[in-house]
Structures are given as structure tokens and as C-alpha cells.
Amino acid sequence: MTTADERRAREEARATFLGVFAGGFADERYLAWERDYKVEAHRLWVDRIGGKTAFRAQLDAGRHDEVAATVVRIESGRALLFSFEKMALRDAVVRSPEGAAAFTEGLYDWLHGPDGEPARFERWTEVVAALPRRQTRVATWPVVTVFGSIARPKVHLFLKPRTIRRAAEAYGFPLEYSSTPSWSTYASLLELARTVRTDLTDLAPRDQIDVQSFLWVLGSDEYADQRLAARGRRERRAG
């Protein structure tokens, strides 16, 4: 059962989001700043990687290097991973045939493989942790989660630790967080997403892109000034 403090936090979070994007998930600025480029990444994935059958066919044809390069390229033109993560990923899967094979087979298994989500996610984290490494580690939360959010945006979310932890706190949600990627933390994030979607039903979030973007507005440094301005407007109206 939701406590009074949690209800207040969630009402405040909703007001903050609408203070930044008055039109909610249909706001033109929201679409331009948060949604459209993520939808475009998914469209490119569908065109170039495809769903379960097309993805498997490329791997069965031995095109691991090509698929790995395409996956990395889809992400690289967008402000999703940090620059050091982009570099580490290229080193691990574009410049290493062994890394490309492990990465693409592991990614296919996570997205389309057998067993339930917990088992597939744990196998995926093991694959990423074992990828070749030059300097920076590859197995960060953003690297582990970004391609799921691109490939299957109705199911998966992109996790940037500091932003998500701030957002969960602002939302009054007890996120179970560990810095090492694990199913327990990811499952907690998915539960947070379900809670947000339920609470924002009237705003009609379309998928996890909208949920993740809502959380991004609550927790990202990029929106710190907008959050303060939105709070100031509410306080002036209340006073």
C-alpha cells in the first residue's frame, strides 16, 4: 500500500514533469528533446538487425562482425552511452572478432533466447563482463541495458545509475540498487517502471521510452534548472 509520503512524492514528480513539458508525452518539445531520437534508434534496429528470425539468420550466416558493428553504430550517433563507454564497446566488439561473436550471440540470447527474463539477463551480464577489455571496463549498467531499450522499447529500460537513483528517490520508490549489473536491480527498475505507468495512465505513456524519459527528467543533471523553475512556478501559484 502506498504511504502518504510516497503519494506526495509521486504527485510532486508528476507536477515536475508537467512543469517541464506541459503537454506531457505529446508535448512537441518532449518529442524533440526526449522521444524522437530514441524511436529513430528503434526504427534503425528493426531495419538493420530485425526481430528474432532476421537477427538469428544473420548470426547463422556468420555475420557476427557486421552485426556487432551495426549495433554499435546505431547507438553511437545518440547521446545514450558516455564517450568512455562507447570507446570501450568499440574496442571490445568491433575491433575483436571473438568479442563480436560473444557479444552478438549473447545479445540475441538476452532478447530472444530460452528461459525467463531473469535467467536471460544474468547470462547477458556474464557475457558483457567477459568481453575483451583494453582500458575501461565494458560491463557498466548503461552498456548492459542500452541495447535492450533500443531493440525492445516496450519491454526494456536504459539504466544510468546516478540519474535513476535520483529519480527513484524523487518518486518515493525504494529501488533495490547494486553497482554491479544484476537481475535483482534490473527487476526493481522494471517494477519502478510498472508503478510509473500505472500512476500516469491518464497521460498515456506509449512504452518504456516514455517511462524512462519521465524518470530522466526527474533525475538528470540536464533538467536541474528546469526542475527548479517548475518548482518555483508551483510555489508562486500556491503562495
* Residue 117 maps to a domain: yes
From the list 150, 134, 126, the residue with the least C-alpha distance to 72 is 150
* Residue 8 maps to a domain: yes
Each of the 239 residues of the chain gets a pLDDT tens digit; together they read: 678 988 999 999 999 999 999 999 999 999 999 999 999 999 999 999 999 999 999 999 999 999 999 999 999 988 899 999 999 999 999 999 999 999 999 999 999 999 999 999 999 999 999 999 877 778 999 999 999 999 999 999 999 999 999 999 999 999 999 999 999 999 999 999 999 999 999 999 999 999 999 999 999 999 999 888 877 777 777 76
Identify whether residues 45 and 125 lie together within a single domain.
yes
* Residue 161 maps to a domain: yes
Residue 53 has a pLDDT of: 98
Domain hosting 15: range is 4-35+155-238
Identify whether residues 129 and 171 lie together within a single domain.
no
Identify whether residues 163 and 81 lie together within a single domain.
no
Identify whether residues 60 and 12 lie together within a single domain.
no
Which H/E stretch holds residue 219? helix 208-219
Identify whether residues 115 and 61 lie together within a single domain.
yes
Residue 219 has a pLDDT of: 96
Q: Could you write out the DSSP letters of every residue in 139-187?
A: --HHHHHHHHHHH-TTT-----HHHHHHHHHHTT------SS--HHHHH
C-alpha cell of 91? 574496442
Q: How far is CA 19 from CA 92, 97, 220, 223, 239, in A?
A: 42, 48, 15, 11, 17
If one counts the domains in the chain, the total is 2
Q: How far is CA 3 from CA 7, 13, 14, 92, 215, in A?
A: 6, 15, 17, 46, 20
Query: Which of 77, 106, 138 finishes a domain?
Result: 138
Which H/E stretch holds residue 213? helix 208-219
Identify whether residues 119 and 69 lie together within a single domain.
yes
Residue 111 has a pLDDT of: 98
* Residue 16 maps to a domain: yes
* Cβ partners under 8 Å of residue 60, min gap 6: none
User: Can you state the percent helix, strand and coil of the chain, rounding each to 5?
Assistant: 75, 0, 25
Query: Which of 138, 172, 205 finishes a domain?
Result: 138
> pTM, whole model, 2 decimals?
0.93
* Residue 224 maps to a domain: yes
* Residue 145 maps to a domain: no
Identify whether residues 22 and 45 lie together within a single domain.
no
Identify whether residues 86 and 165 lie together within a single domain.
no
